[in-house]
C-alpha cells in the first residue's frame, strides 16, 4: 500500500492543493503589497482560511516565501549550470540572458516582486543557496566586461528584465525585447534572433 493510500482519502492531495493555493495567494498579495506589507492574516483572509490553517502549512511568512521561491531557485540553478558550460564569456552571458528572460516570462509577477522588493532580498539573505546562485548569475554577465562596468551592466540587465516582466506587453514581445536590450547593454551580438534556452 502506498503512503498516500494509507492516509485518509484525499488528505495528501488536499494538503498539496491547499499549500499551492497559499503560495499562489502569497504571490498575488506580495505583488500588490510587497513582502513586508503582506501578513499571514492577509493571506488567510484572501482565501477565507483561518490563520491557524495557514500555520499548519507555514509557521512564518519567511517559510511561505521560501516555498514561493523554491521553483524559481531550481530554474535559476539549471540555467546558471547550462550557461557555465558555454564556451567564451559572450556565449555564457548570452545563454544566461536567454535563460533568465525565459524564467521571467514564465513567472512574470513573481520575478518582478523578487527583484523589486527590498524586503524579499533581506529575507532571502538567510538562504546561502540563493546568494550563491545570484552571485554565479551575476558573474556570468559581468565577465563580458570585467571590472565595475561589467557589474553595473549585469545589474542593469537583471533588474531590467525583472522590471519589464511586470509590464503589460505580450509574452513574445517581452521575451524578444528583453533579450535584445540585454544583449545591447552587454555588448553582445544583437543581429541573431533571441533563442529560448
Q: What is the mean pLDDT of residues 17-33?
A: 91
Alpha-carbon gap, residue 35 to 106, rounded angstroms: 20
* Domain architecture of the chain: domains with CATH: 12-186 (1.10.357.10)
Tell me how far apart the alpha carbons of residues 181 and 87 are, in angstroms, rounded to a whole number. Answer: 22
| Distance (Å) of CA 11 to CA 18, 50, 58, 74, 81 | 10, 18, 17, 27, 37
Q: At what angle do helices 148-165 and 88-106 cross, to 10 degrees?
A: 20
pLDDT of the residue at 191: 57
What pLDDT shows up at residue 113?
81
Residue 114's pLDDT is: 81
CB count in 10 Å sphere of residue 53: 13
Q: Report yes or no on whether pTM surpasses 0.75.
A: yes
Residue 129 confidence (pLDDT) = 85
Amino acid at each position: 500500500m502506498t503512503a498516500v493510500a494509507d492516509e485518509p482519502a484525499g488528505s495528501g492531495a488536499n494538503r498539496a492543493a491547499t499549500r499551492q493555493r497559499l503560495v499562489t495567494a502569497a504571490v498575488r498579495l506580495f505583488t500588490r503589497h510587497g513582502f513586508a506589507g503582506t501578513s499571514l492574516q492577509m493571506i488567510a483572509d484572501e482565501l477565507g482560511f483561518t490563520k491557524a490553517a495557514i500555520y499548519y502549512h507555514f509557521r512564518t511568512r519567511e517559510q511561505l516565501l521560501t516555498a514561493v521561491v523554491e521553483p524559481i531557485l531550481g530554474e535559476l540553478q539549471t540555467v546558471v549550470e547550462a550557461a557555465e558550460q558555454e564556451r567564451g564569456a559572450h556565449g555564457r552571458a548570452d545563454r544566461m540572458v536567454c535563460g533568465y528572460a525565459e524564467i521571467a516570462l514564465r513567472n512574470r509577477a513573481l520575478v518582478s516582486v523578487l527583484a523589486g522588493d527590498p524586503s524579499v532580498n533581506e529575507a532571502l539573505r538567510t538562504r546561502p543557496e540563493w546568494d550563491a546562485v545570484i552571485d554565479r548569475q551575476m558573474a556570468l554577465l559581468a565577465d563580458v566586461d570585467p571590472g565595475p562596468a561589467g557589474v553595473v551592466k549585469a545589474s542593469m540587465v537583471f533588474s531590467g528584465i525583472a522590471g519589464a516582466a511586470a509590464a503589460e506587453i505580450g509574452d513574445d514581445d517581452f521575451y524578444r525585447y528583453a533579450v535584445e536590450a540585454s544583449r545591447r547593454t552587454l555588448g553582445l551580438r544583437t543581429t541573431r534572433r533571441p533563442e529560448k534556452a
